[in-house]
Amino acid sequence: MTETDFIAALRALPLHPGGRGLMDDCAVLTVGSETLVITHDMMAEGTHFRPDADMADVAWKLVVTNLSDLAAKGAAPVGVLLGHTLGRDDARFLEGLRAALETFDTPLLGGDTIGAAGARTLGLTAIGRATFTPVPARSGAQVGDEVWITGPVGRAMLGFAGDPEHLSAFNRPVPRLVEGLALAPQVSAMMDVSDGLLLDAFRMAEASGVTFALDPAAIPVGDPAQFEKSIRWGDDYELLFTAPPTANLPVPAHRIGIVALRGPAPLALGETVFSDPAHLGYRHG
């Protein structure tokens, strides 16, 4: 099964309303007077990190991928649960984990540790506290809204290729937690860019039942000479969001398009229309 097929099959299982139909990156649960935001991300050796990667960087990135999902919900981190497969350089992994948890003021709550043969798989569950309700979703974009992104895409791609100026963007990205908290009251929809700008924009537009019309000249990229790759590569962890034209945005951002009535496809990049998400970004399976 592909990732899309598997998630579609999961939707036939008993689902909690807080799971948002598995159409979002986080579950949203109301507990008493608090609204909790919960997410889980995994990383696999050979897919998300090289076999010779510095495990301190791997640990940092495992934390960031989860905190980035909380950022897109305007949630403040409460803590994380770690799923760890023992292997090489566990001491370095712990160094990177400590650095990330201290940097982003996120304590460890617990988790599980196993030993296993073959490629390592690591997982992390992050729990956050919503600072604004309703918690932003992928599905809230409205016709007439503007499409924005908090920063350039393609920097992680350049770092992966060895560009020294952008190594940190790949090895030690930074979740946009401050921006997410500030934007949550202003946006109609929001998510982080992890699988490629085009694919994530397609997903948000599809979930909202609209068309995103993006202006290629307005999209910020790390290297304009590699524009097409940059908007598909992913691992950027910038926030992609929509907001009414009257919104007073509290953080710097780039206006990259508009939200239009649903046309023949969820996404348009200039004159190019995309009706199929294949080849727009990274997908498993």
Q: Model confidence over 165-178: pLDDT tens digits?
A: 999 999 999 999 99
Q: Model confidence over 45-78: pLDDT tens digits?
A: 988 898 999 999 999 999 999 999 999 999 999 9
State the Cα torsion 244-151-77-182 to the nearest 10°.
Answer: -40
In percent, the amount of the chain with pLDDT more than 90 equals: 86
- Give all domains of the chain, ordered by start, each with its CATH number: 3-130 (3.30.1330.10), 138-274 (3.90.650.10)
Half-sphere exposure at residue 24, Cβ-oriented, CA atoms within 13 angstroms: 25
What is the pLDDT at residue 283? 60
Amino acid 251 reads V
Q: Model confidence over 197-248: pLDDT tens digits?
A: 999 999 999 999 999 999 999 999 999 999 999 999 999 999 999 999 999 9
Half-sphere exposure at residue 219, Cβ-oriented, CA atoms within 13 angstroms: 27
Beta strand spans in 90-174 (E): 108-114, 121-130, 146-149
User: Above 80 in pLDDT, residue 265?
Assistant: yes
For Cα atoms 34, 40, 43, give the angle at the middle one, nearest 5 degrees: 155
What pTM does this model have? Answer: 0.94
pLDDT average, residue stretch 15-19: 88
